[in-house]
Amino acid sequence: MAVSRVKFAIPKGSLEAATLDILSRAMLKLHGADRTYRPVVDDPLLEVKILRPQEIPVLVESGAYDIGITGLDWVRETGADVLELMDLEYGRVQLVVAEPNTKNHQSLAEIIMDHPSLKISTEYLNTTLKHVMANPVYRRLYGSLQPMVVTPWWTRGENEKVKIFLSFGATEAKPPEDADIIVDASQTGITLEKNNLRVVEVIGESTARLIANRESYKDAEKREKILDIVTLLRGVVESGKKLHVFANVREENLSQLLTLLPSLKSPTISPLSVKGWYAINTVIPKGELLKILPTLRRLAQGLVIHEPQLILPLEDIVKESEKNNP
């Protein structure tokens, strides 16, 4: 009987380089990603394809792919019913409302009041529609009328005084000739500034997420492979927040040092060949190092610190698996 392969969609574009990097650090290095949309991974149970992040949530929901990496912004925009397995903590962007820097509006409400006919350009049609309709000033002026949403193929909505136009990219270039404002993803704000735009309002934040098809996750065979991937990726994310500490300490200083030393669980303590000395092996949060360094300098010797490649939180993965598949 053939073993089911897990189909894995990964993103093209702004998330691509960071995705390839985290997969490589998770021992899932892809071969040929610079030449083909179907790179090969060393795991024979994985089938990988590179797609635009906008497409991935819907394709994972439909079952065309078992798992995928995409931005939370596109999961929300598409409304795809997928299982979010983890926040990968890269590709952080803000979804913003921006206008030409010659204007000085402080909110979307002010913009709506100041524009009897408002044109908005965005790739995020659904997110923008919801945000505009939730605005108190919009509701006061137009009630439940939906803004007109305009694409090359169809036009929907009743309110011609507020129009949302689908952008196919380079959204920041649309104002002022083709749009009064835009709704777009911004990482640093530099691109907006270079195009003479300023942020008026932040709608939300997004990072890369690992998502799964709900039925695929219920399949026991596929779930095991999916959990392998979750474990490896979680290991990379967690390792970036931790430091591995090795220290030698005299027996008389051991108890004092242990009371001050944070660790994931409990540090490993081993007697050295020299009587009266112990080795301590532990993992600490990166932010704790400077706090405990004076203590280490005073009580420890032979200190070695390095950044771990993978920290695999196996217990947490088991708990999350049980939660997602009761």
Residues 90-111 pLDDT 10s: 999 999 999 999 999 999 999 9
Please name the residue that has the structure tokens 């080795």: 279
Phi, psi of 153 (to 5 degrees): -105, -30
Residue 326: is its pLDDT beyond 60? no
Q: Where are the domains of the chain?
A: 6-90+208-239, 94-206, 242-306
- Distance CA(89)–CA(69), nearest Å, equals 12
Residue 315: is its pLDDT beyond 50? yes
- Distance CA(202)–CA(183), nearest Å, equals 9
**3-class SS of residue 300:** strand
Tell me: the pLDDT tens digits for 250-270? 988 888 888 877 665 678 889
CATH topology of domain 94-206: D-Maltodextrin-Binding Protein; domain 2 (3.40.190)
Tell me: the pLDDT tens digits for 114-138? 999 999 999 999 999 999 999 999 9
> For residue 296, what pLDDT is reported?
84
What is the CB neighbour count within 10 angstroms for residue 90? Answer: 17
> For residue 261, what pLDDT is reported?
73
Tell me: the pLDDT tens digits for 177-209? 999 999 999 999 999 999 999 999 999 999 999
> For residue 307, what pLDDT is reported?
82
Strands 159-166 and 147-150: parallel
> For residue 260, what pLDDT is reported?
75
Q: HEC string of 100-112? A: ECCCCCCCHHHHH
Q: Do domains 94-206 and 242-306 have the same CATH topology?
A: no
Q: Which CATH number fits domain 6-90+208-239: 3.40.50.2300, 3.40.190.10, 2.102.10.10, 3.30.43.10?
A: 3.40.190.10
Closest CA to 65 of 74, 73, 56: 56
Tell me: the pLDDT tens digits for 20-54? 999 999 999 899 988 899 999 988 899 999 999 99
Q: CATH says 242-306 is which class?
A: alpha beta
Q: Token pair of 58, please?
A: 């819907």
Model confidence at 1, pLDDT cuts 50, 70, 90, reads: very low
pTM of the model: 0.87
Model confidence at 313, pLDDT cuts 50, 70, 90, reads: low
